[in-house]
Amino acid sequence: RTPETAPVLLTLADRSVDEITALIQGALTLKLVQKNFGPRFLGDSMRNRSMAMTFSKRSTRTRVATETATSSLGGVSMFLGRDDIQLGVNESLYDSAKVIGSMVDGIMARVAKHEEVETLAKHSGVPVINALSDLYHPTQILADILTLVEEAHGPFVFPSQVTTSEGSRYHWMHEWVRNNVDIPGALRGKKMAWVGDSNNISNELLVTLPRFGVHFALAAPKGYDTIDPRVKATLEAQGVADMITYTNDPAVAVKNADILITDTWISMGQEDETAARLKAFEGYQITMDMARTHGAKEGWKFMHCLPRHKEEVDDEVFYSDRSLVFPEAENRKWTIMACIDAMAGWWLPARKNRMR
Ligand code: CP
Ligand code: NVA
């Protein structure tokens, strides 16, 4: 069924646990189809369709993931960087939203202020996916969930002979994933320790993982531990307070944690604060010694959305067997592909002005 208004993904806070689970099932299906059957079985839900990528900040993963995901589904994407289009320089966001939305089938938008992606979603008339704002980063946390699910599940083993016609291999895999991979079960009961800045990534984790039964402990230094009022209001509405610990002491967060996770201490746009931040975050670098001293669980794993700097995690942890960072980065592609497939790939705008 095609909804009247275009679907949008501005934060996973707007999506139920079941909806998020369905997106992860979609992503895992696409990944397993490509790796086991080959790319021609992915389907072509973006055939004759296009994605605009309006990015006002740099990107490696999100950009490469979106471009390759769109083309894998048979569509084209166009990267519209800050210096390429009139947006923000010579034209209002409203005008650009109207114009771009009238020509493409979906927009992936990386913005500074979260209100900007809200405006795009409100006025473009096509599916809009938040590719990072100052407040949230939903597609990153989808990739994090997929990574944790794969880690919990171990290798995926299929019957040696897949008894299905070539054309329905996607559907066979989707059924297999739904019947054999317990997505909420892979997360339930885990403790995740965030040691670092309270930022867009930790916000998105906060509004998502506690609903899956993950105990989320956030350790940030004083002055960098503020939770945005919009995030606080969301958490209150979700009723997940007992699943969250806020602290200024990394030791409290790391104790008994299954996953240690962090991000840069200096997000895009905060470069002027570098010296003050490096000082404030002293003692927050994730190392083997920190994990041992503070009592992380024996089999603890490390995650990071990347790009990474040595100050927040040393090489020994980052390149160790505990580190999930490279599968996590690859999973940006499969989860973004699932979002594009589900949102832009099937949605048909109401054809008000259709020629008769
Ligand atoms: N994790 C992430 O969003 O990376 P990029 O900024 O490279 O897209
Ligand atoms: N917190 C970082 C995430 C980069 C993917 C930033 O906003 O720059």
Measured CA to CA, the distance from residue 198 to residue 239 in angstroms comes to 20
Q: Is the pLDDT of residue 354 over 60?
A: no
Residue nearest to atom 3 of ligand 1 (CA): 62
Q: Is 112 touching ligand 2 by the criterion CB < 6 Å?
A: no
Quick one: 258 exposed, middle or buried, by C-beta within 10 A (0-12, 13-18, 19+)? buried
Q: What is the largest CA-CA distance in the chain?
A: 72
Q: Is the pLDDT of residue 222 over 90?
A: yes
Whether residue 349 contacts residue 101, with contact meaning beta carbons closer than 8 Å, is answered with: no
Spell out the residues 6+ positions from residue 262 whose beta carbon is closer than 8 angstroms to its own: 194, 195, 196, 284, 286, 304, 312, 313
Q: How far is the CA of 264 from the centre of ligand 2 (A)?
A: 7
| pLDDT for the residue 26 | 97
Q: Is 263 touching ligand 2 by the criterion CB < 6 Å?
A: yes
Q: Is the pLDDT of residue 353 over 80?
A: no
Closest Cα partner for 77 from 345, 348, 268?
345
- At 263, list the tokens: 């991000």
Percent of all residues in the chain with a pLDDT value above 70, rounded to a whole number: 97
Ligand 1: atom nearest CA of 305 is 1
Ligand 2, from 59, 132, 271: best to mutate by most atoms within 8 Å of Cβ? Answer: 132
Q: How confident is the model at residue 86 (pLDDT cuts 50, 70, 90)?
A: confident
Cis bond before residue 307 (omega within 30° of 0):
yes
Q: Is the pLDDT of residue 206 over 50?
A: yes
| pLDDT for the residue 1 | 44
- At 107, list the tokens: 């927009």
- At 346, list the tokens: 């099937």
Q: How far is the CA of 165 from the centre of ligand 2 (A)?
A: 44
**pLDDT one-digit tens code per residue, 176-186:** 999 999 999 99
Measured CA to CA, the distance from residue 335 to residue 102 in angstroms comes to 26
Whether residue 48 contacts residue 175, with contact meaning beta carbons closer than 8 Å, is answered with: no
Q: At what angle do helices 325-343 and 61-72 cross, to 10 degrees?
A: 50
Ligand 2: atom nearest CA of 306 is 5
Tokens 């670092």 sit at which residue? 196
Measured CA to CA, the distance from residue 114 to residue 7 in angstroms comes to 17
* ipTM of the modeled complex: 0.99
Measured CA to CA, the distance from residue 283 to residue 300 in angstroms comes to 19
Domains of the chain and CATH, by start: 8-138+331-343 (3.40.50.1370), 182-330 (3.40.50.1370)
Residues 56, 61, 66, CA angle at the centre, nearest 5°?
A: 75
Q: How confident is the model at residue 5 (pLDDT cuts 50, 70, 90)?
A: confident
Whether residue 77 contacts residue 49, with contact meaning beta carbons closer than 8 Å, is answered with: no
| pLDDT for the residue 83 | 85
Q: How far is the CA of 350 from the centre of ligand 2 (A)?
A: 36
Whether residue 345 contacts residue 73, with contact meaning beta carbons closer than 8 Å, is answered with: yes
Measured CA to CA, the distance from residue 50 to residue 244 in angstroms comes to 40
Average pLDDT taken over every residue of the chain: 94
Measured CA to CA, the distance from residue 114 to residue 118 in angstroms comes to 7
Mode of pairing for the β-strands spanning 8-9 and 215-219: unpaired
Q: Is 339 a catalytic residue?
A: no
Residue of 9, 28, 32, 305 with catalytic role: 305
Q: How far is the CA of 157 from the centre of ligand 1 (A)?
A: 31
Q: Is 199 touching ligand 2 by the criterion CB < 6 Å?
A: yes
Q: Is 200 touching ligand 1 by the criterion CB < 6 Å?
A: no
- Angstrom CA distances, 14 to 4, 19, 186, 303, stand at 18, 10, 22, 24
Q: What number of CA atoms fall less than 13 Å from residue 274's CA on the CB side?
A: 6
Q: How far is the CA of 163 from the centre of ligand 1 (A)?
A: 39
